[in-house]
Amino acid sequence: MKLEIFDPVASKGRDKHHQSRPELICKSCGQELPYLDSHYVELGLIVCDDEGNAVRDAVVEVTTTDKDQKATLNGTGLVHTFKRPDDIKERLPYYAFHYDFKKKGNHKITLTVGDVSEVVELTAV
């Protein structure tokens, strides 16, 4: 089994500046605060079997620093197009996970299938 994390939407992935958004409503004016791309991350996970074939019916356990955002992903119908080194386009199934930065500090997201895990660690200011 092999797992690979990627950013399905480049502007909403791991390589951007992350900010926490602990409050949804402004205390002084009562208005809803804007929800910006920096307040969350979108992750994609490709699961391959021992022969290297992408799997769409895996069970992915997601554990996070924020215990309220843990999840179990049972199979997927999502696909993403990748360009292989030989310039051939390949469509592979992937598992999507959305994580909100509700607090400042370090955030750890672990995606596990069976006994194989991949970890993403991000910091929100």
CATH number of 2-22+36-124: 2.60.40.10
Listed by start position, the domains of the chain span 2-22+36-124
**Radius of gyration in angstroms for the set of CA atoms belonging to the chain, rounded to a whole number:** 16
Report the C-alpha gap between 49 and 1 in whole angstroms: 5
Q: Tell me the pairing of strands 105-113 and 59-64.
A: antiparallel
Q: What is the dihedral of CA 54, 78, 42, 35, to 10 degrees?
A: 180
Q: What is the pTM of this model?
A: 0.84
Can you give the pLDDT at residue 92? Answer: 95
Can you give the pLDDT at residue 77? Answer: 93
Q: Mean pLDDT across the stretch 94-113?
A: 94
- Among the listed residues 55, 122, 41, the one whose alpha carbon sits nearest the alpha carbon of residue 93: 55
Band (pLDDT 50/70/90 cuts) for residue 108 is: very high
Residues 6+ apart with CB under 8 A from 86: none
Helix (H, G, I), strand (E, B) or coil at 14: coil
pLDDT at 99 over 70: yes
